[in-house]
Amino acid sequence: MIKVGVLGAKGRMGTEVCRAVEGADDMELVATVDDGDSLDVLKGADVAVDFTHPGVVMDNVRWCVEHGVHAVVGTSGFDPSRTDQVRSWLAATPGAKVLIAPNFGIGAVLMMDFAQRAAPFFESVEIVELHHPNKADAPSGTAYRTAELVAAVRAEKGVAPSPDATVSELDGARGTDVEGVRVHAVRLSGAIAHQEVLLGGHGELFSIRHDSMNRTSFMPGVLLGVREVGGLPEPLTVGLESLLGL
């Protein structure tokens, strides 16, 4: 049995994770942690799942690394500087493995993979993401990661920057720039997690969209991460792609 602890256990995602772990035949929920609780209860866990807040997640991950507890992290806010920091902790204290997934939806991971494959074939690419208004960060981790992947493959293939003749704009009208890819964040009541990658070429448009209609859609990916994190070849893995054979 895999002994699992959940950080952010009383939140919307944390509640779903607890329910999913309790329903899995090969897992045991041994600890739940929320705001103000001691992390020491995680000492009996093999894997800790973190769905907390960008402001506290780094301290949580560092504690897991220092105590040899594998971490599966779904909290947003991981830019390159943060992943580099986690990598340095893992190098200093070997033993634990960390999986940081911008999105645990299987369809969302496939959407990112498809976007990466399509990006070199189109002149223009932009990303629009829509989330519930309680989300703390913008753009989402999924959108940021998608932009990184798209930008990397376009650079590798020698694709020119997306054309844009804008010379006058209101602040934020063209979204934010992530390595040359424009990303637009919408915060909307009624939304859960949605993303569309828009690609344009000569006389055609191609869009790749993923919609999560409820939070249970992320649970197969979370459970996959819990099962596989301890056997991952690298101390730090970003994204579920390798776990799905992509």
- Of the chain, the end-to-end C-alpha distance in Å amounts to 27
Annotated catalytic residue, options 53, 67, 132, 135: 135
Q: For residue 142, which of 105, 188, 99 has the smallest C-alpha distance?
A: 105
Annotated catalytic residue, options 70, 97, 131, 184: 131
Give bridge partners of residue 20 from the DSSP assignment. Answer: none
Query: Which residues, 6 or more positions from 53, have their beta carbon under 8 angstroms from its beta carbon?
Result: 8, 75, 136
| Residue bearing tokens 């101390």 | 235
Q: Among this protein's residues, is 157 annotated catalytic?
A: no
| Residue bearing tokens 């979204």 | 175
Q: Among this protein's residues, is 43 annotated catalytic?
A: no
Long-range contacts of 175-182 (CB under 8 A, 24+ apart): 175/126, 176/139, 178/139, 178/143, 178/144, 178/147, 178/148, 178/151, 179/147, 179/148, 179/151, 179/152, 180/151, 180/154, 181/125, 181/126, 181/127, 181/147, 181/150, 181/151, 182/126, 182/127
Show which residues are catalytic.
Answer: 131, 135
